[in-house]
Structure 1
């Protein structure tokens, strides 16, 4: 708002200067004219300084605890303080030092994580059958944010389910079992009811399908906002700690291909020239679906992305490589854990106006986590989307969408034993 007022003031001063020059007395410039010129110059310098300071302040400020929860190595400063932290903890426990003297740093987060690792066996692969275990066990299962440190599988399909989406997740599990029977599906429960969790457990309770109840309350409250989807990179990062490569799918996505087509896509993800990520791009420019203020956090601007196609997050392959971890997942998560980056003031997800000319102008709609993802991909690839995406109409796109309404209708029809093969297209190639 201050910037807007300053711009209006500058415009007014410039107009006044022009009028004075056009209609003022001839001859030597008087003192008033000199003052106007000096003030205009000074205001312009202040305007530039305000912009510079504003950009400098737009930096990621992440609590080290969150990065540790996501499996990132602590900073060197935190590592060097670990021994000191342990000594302070020992002294405090022996009453040599009050507990309040313990520093609140990344090393404290490490201690918290070490306490949580006692629950690791309950976190590795949580399945929910008919009985579901004791209340205490269910309480432990809900506290799953400790980084996984077990043996990784080669490949895993990862999705998540929110309250009211159980029907979509159930049909995805059936779809994967039919089309990709040798692949493992991991479903992250991000807050469904006990009833829906039991329903999901009936269909996902075998050696190829598991449910993990993930506790988002360990992160800032805005991470659970369904509008921003800031939890998606968290789910993907946890999946990459459990598998060498993952296919992230929204639970409304379905597979129409088979194992041979999947293997071809997997080989492309790890092929030469690839970033270790593979998605499907749309005709929409990244600049059209990204709030201009988000670019500031990545020290870039919208003009750099006007010809870069937007990749959606409905279906994306990720490989667990150092490049993906440090150059893609880390900056993406930093933005999603910074409220002003993921959700700039004025951002909204509806009211898109794609009829603006030129078409790459900001449409008024912001993609939140998808926008941050595309900025990171663009900067990492030097704006070459062929390194990480295929056209959405490519024959190699083996996925399609099924709405929640369709999934609910199909599931209810099956439960009434009145379904027909034509009700559900996922068995058709």
Structure 2
């Protein structure tokens, strides 16, 4: 009974204290207490707003100017531009495509900034002089291509220091697939290296396109993220009905029979690559999945497709379902390069094996998330095992390529250092 009275007295004291705090001696509201309540309420509202904004920022969008540059909307043609478009239905070659790009750039007032390609030059010495004069003022090409498409084109890119690999790829394709076109996107090689490349890529089946990445966010040019690869592929798909994108260190074995079989498969699915035993979840930073409104656990059994060699078809399905979401991520820094992501330090011995390895795949990771979501996590729809018999590609390191090219330049008859075989 006594305990009950003590509890009641304690409750009364607490209530009296609260009343005294809320109301001053004169019965007026305590301004400091009200201020605290208002401030707390305001901070809570701000927290809710920040949380909402944070969630909205994870929605992937492309700025209109990038949509235009990447050909997702009608190009901004002038009357003069339209008059230069080809009027025939015959497919243009890579050489003709390069000529039309140069014409369009001159109409846009950047003639002084456009590189001339040796594949279309009739006076190499004059071209070299012109390149020397334009060394410091040249502007790279970003104008969307709007001409007649070739049926099929092999596409690669080259950066500073990689010209040896690109030259040997051009020679490899000329030997194994002499009727196919090759487009090489120059993403920043020196004048000297460009001249060396043009000396080998100097026929109607091969052309160099100097592409301007400065029109895009600065992080796109980061070799760690490879965010430029989907840009190159999208531009190539404006020039051909289907393309084979390949890194410049890849080489082709076999010939047309193998190529045609793979092309047929690619046209059915729209995309065809080669998968590895590595799970997508182990090579993808967990924060990237948030931008695709997906969960890493859904990808623990999905095999990772690498981007060393992939076939693409230019269809509405591929444009809307594959290229657009892929490019949205590639052009959003927080998506392509989440905080804490790194390209090395992979630990694939973690158990279970599908856990994040600590090594992020950047553009390849985004590509695989898009593929998985599009085909409901069934990699057989768009890929073949990397060890499959149909894989007609093998790698040649930059060191090997440099050694081989130097050997050939010295007219060496020793071919034992070239790993090129039919097996």
Shorter-chain-normalised TM-score: which range?
A: 0.7 to 0.9
Match of 2:374? 380
Aligned counterparts of 1:378 and 1:60: Cα–Cα separation in 2: 17
SS in 2 for 1:154: strand
1:169 to 153, 166, 169: 166
Whether contact under 8 Å (1:245, 1:318) holds in the other structure is yes
* Alignment pair present for 1:254 and 2:238: no
Aligned counterparts of 2:62 and 2:52: Cα–Cα separation in 1: 22
* Alignment pair present for 1:116 and 2:108: yes
For residues 30-56 of structure 1, give each alpha carbon's deviation from its aligned partner in whole angstroms, at most 9, with x where no partner exists. Answer: 99xxxxxxxxxxxxxx99998776433
Aligned counterparts of 1:242 and 1:232: Cα–Cα separation in 2: 16
Whether contact under 8 Å (1:116, 1:146) holds in the other structure is no
Match of 2:180? 183
Q: Where do residues 24-423 of structure 1 align in structure 2 (5 Å cutoff)?
A: 54-73=54-73, 116=108, 127=119, 130-131=124-125, 132=127, 134-135=130-131, 142-271=139-268, 274=269, 276-423=270-417
For residues 375-397 of structure 1, give each alpha carbon's deviation from its aligned partner in whole angstroms, at most 9, with x where no partner exists. Answer: 00011111111111000000000
For residues 192-247 of structure 1, give each alpha carbon's deviation from its aligned partner in whole angstroms, at most 9, with x where no partner exists. Answer: 00000011111111011111111111111100000000000111111101100000
SS in 2 for 1:426: coil
Aligned counterparts of 1:314 and 1:338: Cα–Cα separation in 2: 23
Aligned counterparts of 1:335 and 1:126: Cα–Cα separation in 2: 35
Match of 2:34? none
Aligned counterparts of 1:349 and 1:360: Cα–Cα separation in 2: 17
1:329, CA displacement in angstroms? 0.4
SS in 1 for 2:108: helix
Q: Which runs of 5+ in 2 are unaligned?
A: 1-9, 12-45, 77-103
Whether contact under 8 Å (1:127, 1:212) holds in the other structure is no
1:291, CA displacement in angstroms? 0.3
SS in 2 for 1:210: strand
Whether contact under 8 Å (2:118, 2:199) holds in the other structure is no
For residues 328-363 of structure 1, give each alpha carbon's deviation from its aligned partner in whole angstroms, at most 9, with x where no partner exists. Answer: 001101100000000000000000111111100000
How many residue pairs end up in the alignment? 355
Whether contact under 8 Å (1:188, 1:211) holds in the other structure is yes
1:257, CA displacement in angstroms? 1.1
Aligned counterparts of 1:293 and 1:396: Cα–Cα separation in 2: 35
For residues 310-340 of structure 1, give each alpha carbon's deviation from its aligned partner in whole angstroms, at most 9, with x where no partner exists. Answer: 0000000000000001110011011000000
Whether contact under 8 Å (1:124, 1:148) holds in the other structure is no
1:150, CA displacement in angstroms? 1.2
Match of 2:35? none
1:126, CA displacement in angstroms? 6.7
Q: Superposition RMSD on alpha carbons, in Å?
A: 3.3
Inter-CA distance 426–117: structure 2 relative to 1 (3 Å threshold)? farther
For residues 135-166 of structure 1, give each alpha carbon's deviation from its aligned partner in whole angstroms, at most 9, with x where no partner exists. Answer: 47788974210000111100000000000000
TM-score, structure 1 as length reference: 0.75
1:374, CA displacement in angstroms? 0.3
Whether contact under 8 Å (1:159, 1:250) holds in the other structure is yes
Aligned counterparts of 2:194 and 2:110: Cα–Cα separation in 1: 24
TM-score, structure 2 as length reference: 0.76
Q: Which runs of 5+ in 1 are unaligned?
A: 1-29, 32-45, 79-111
Inter-CA distance 381–49: structure 2 relative to 1 (3 Å threshold)? farther
Inter-CA distance 124–236: structure 2 relative to 1 (3 Å threshold)? farther
SS in 1 for 2:243: strand
